[in-house]
A and B are shown apart, each in its own frame.
Chain A
Amino acid sequence: MAEVKTKSEVVMNRVAIVAVFVALIIMLTPIYWIASTAFKPRSLATTVPPTVMFEPTLTPFAKLFVRRSQMREPVEQEVYEAAPWWEKLIYDDGENVVRNRRSGDITPSGYADRYKNSLIISIISTFLAVSMGTLTAYGFSRFKVKGEQDWLFFILSTRMLPPVVVAIPMFLMYRTVGLHDTHLGLIILYTAFNLSFAVWIMKGFIDEIPKEYEEAALVDGYTRLQAFWKIVLPEALTGIAATAVFCFIIAWNEYAFALMMTNRNAQTAPPYIPSQVGSGLPDWSVIAAGAFLFLLPVAIFTFLLRNHLLRGMSFGAIRK
């Protein structure tokens, strides 16, 4: 059904469309930049003006996962012939691969491990924050809690100061209790970060679910926990998905604490990628390749949950 629009509304509408496009360009340009640089040969990565048309190459990705060294003398012909395609890309680019002295195997770079760490830590901390947050929010939403407003404020207040402020005490504490450079350490940290956020967002969503749903289930012979599991959770799925996306993004992108609290075993990708700038000459293509791959999980996660993010909360089964 078309609604009546005045001329000025039509104009405003056009202006809004233009504004959306401008905003899109501003936001997507860096992503395009990273994505295009990731496929550029090293020589084209830093040209001024930037090269737009080029033949894409996978060399930066090959280099990303392998430890390399400067090529002092050309690779022997036999070795080159026997090498797989990605290894050849590295030789073609004038670099050598670092091999294990005893076994002769190619040594991988730290990227894959860091990436795995990022996935483990982000997924587990997101799961913990969202599940604990949902239960807490349910409690606040459905039961009379003494000093509810104060508690909620207290929960929110944990996010009121920049986390970096507590970085040094946290660092000292973590070192004392042996959580430094462990997965568990970062998981606890990120869960604590995200919990207050999850509680607040989930409370909003659960408040929206009519109490009668659970009451109907309670009268129908279910326990409170069963009612929560069978009725509230499915209804809150939209909210849970949205909260999970945000918590995941925050944990995935966190840089400052990851830099400080980890150095090897549990280091995540964000502090690792820029550290590559310092080793030898910065190879911007490789860094862009690392950043590009780093963007993918968030994009995929968000894409998978897009229906839940977009779907309205209530789909009309209750009359108000």
Chain B
Amino acid sequence: MAQIKLQNVQKFFGAVQVLRDINLEIEDGEFVVMLGQSGCGKTTTLRAIAGLETVSSGTITIDGREVQDLKAADRDIAFVFQSFSLYPHMTVYENIAFPLRAVRIPQSDRDKEVKEVAKVLGIERLLSKRPSALSGGDMQRVAIGRALVRRPKALLMDEPIGALDAKLREQMRAEIKRLHIARNSTSVYVTHDQVEAMSLADRIVVMHDGVLQQVDSPEQVYLHPANLFVAQFVGSPVMNITDVSVEGAGTDALLRIGKSEGFRVPSAVVSHLNGAPAKLGIRPEAIILSHESGEGFVETETTNVEPLGSHDIVDIRIGDETLRARCESGFARGEGERMWVSLDHHRAHFFDAGNGQSLRKEV
């Protein structure tokens, strides 16, 4: 298993720059998930590590060896494609044995390795079948088997479960995690699904427009998003983002959204903003709803209720803005209901109105 390091990696497709100065270190045995929208450069980064894509400049090292000019075959990594890419003219056994045949491992060892991987993945009974006879989940297991059989230095996965249905995705997610723990393989995993990213990753790499936005543990990415993009990309429902003005001095400050009454918060929460224009980010679960008035609560009205079973998402109006709040199911009876709302200021985020960077208070 190996350490992967990207330094100042740039990639142009013609005049379009798709990777901008990527610097990333992936530790031995680490599970790193690259998260971003389609076209953000995450797959290109992965393919560059694999050697399926050249880089325009910068270096990629695997275990201290510069590989950016090596062929994919010489990098000793494995790749799992979203499309699985099982060879249709070969059986499952032959598919899994295929990488071993490239390195001319003796027949008997090959057989042993294939059977062992098949056992780990629970696909022994499928070995004689053709890929066309398999279900989506089994195809993916075979694809992972083919990647693992050679014991590569690193396992790269490009949306490996993106083509499966929701239930199977959940199951495969757990399996991938189990495999990672069992084999302790350095893994880089690309997805646009934040749930996958949060549940699998040791560290998440959020990408946007070819730039790394934040590289951090799932908790940190969720609790302390580095900028507006990360704040809105991670978390469901999406974090509420609104313009806010900060008024007042003394012990309390007033956070005013639009022309609303304003929320009273301790001035220590906002002192580092220095009155500059800022955006407030607040996750739906940090908005507290109440049927009664109280200290620090502002009167509002519900505009929409989405019952989701385990909880409800309630839209409320503050000033001209609609904020989405998460509350227990059945809490709001319907739209147009009078409510009182307060913000959990411990969980409020502030962002620079200009560049969107987080204005996090230095601790």
Contacts and interface: CB of A to CB of B under 8 A. Distances in A.
Contacts of B195: none
A255 interface: no
Contacts of A317: 84, 86-88, 130-132, 139
A319 B103 contact: no
10 contacts: A213-B87, A215-B79, A216-B79, A218-B72, A220-B78, A221-B99, A234-B89, A315-B88, A316-B132, A319-B82
Given A212-B85, A220-B150, A318-B85, 17 more contacts: A210-B85, A215-B79, A216-B85, A216-B87, A217-B98, A218-B51, A218-B72, A219-B77, A220-B98, A220-B99, A221-B99, A221-B150, A235-B88, A315-B132, A316-B131, A317-B86, A319-B84
Interface in B64-108: 71-73, 75, 77-79, 81-89, 98-99, 102-103
A212 B50 CA distance: 13
Interface residues of A, number: 23
Interface of A: 210, 212-213, 215-223, 226, 231, 234-235, 314-320
**6 shortest interchain CB distances as A-B pairs:** A221-B102, A317-B131, A220-B99, A317-B88, A212-B85, A319-B163
B29 interface: no
Contacts of A221: 73, 99, 102-103, 150
A320 to B, nearest CB: 7
Given A314-B88, A317-B139, A215 B81 contact: yes
Interface of B: 50-52, 71-73, 75, 77-79, 81-89, 98-99, 102-103, 130-132, 136, 139, 146, 150, 163
A223 B98 CA distance: 13
B83 A319 contact: yes
Nearest to A218: B72
Contacts of B75: 219
A318 B99 contact: no
**Central interface residue in B72, B85, B86, B99, by most chain A CB within 10 Å:** B85
Nearest to B156: A219
B50 A318 contact: no
A285 to B, nearest CB: 48
Nearest to A214: B85
A221 B71 CA distance: 9
A222 B146 CA distance: 14
B88 A218 contact: no
Contact of B83 (A231, A234, A320): A320
B140 to A, nearest CB: 9
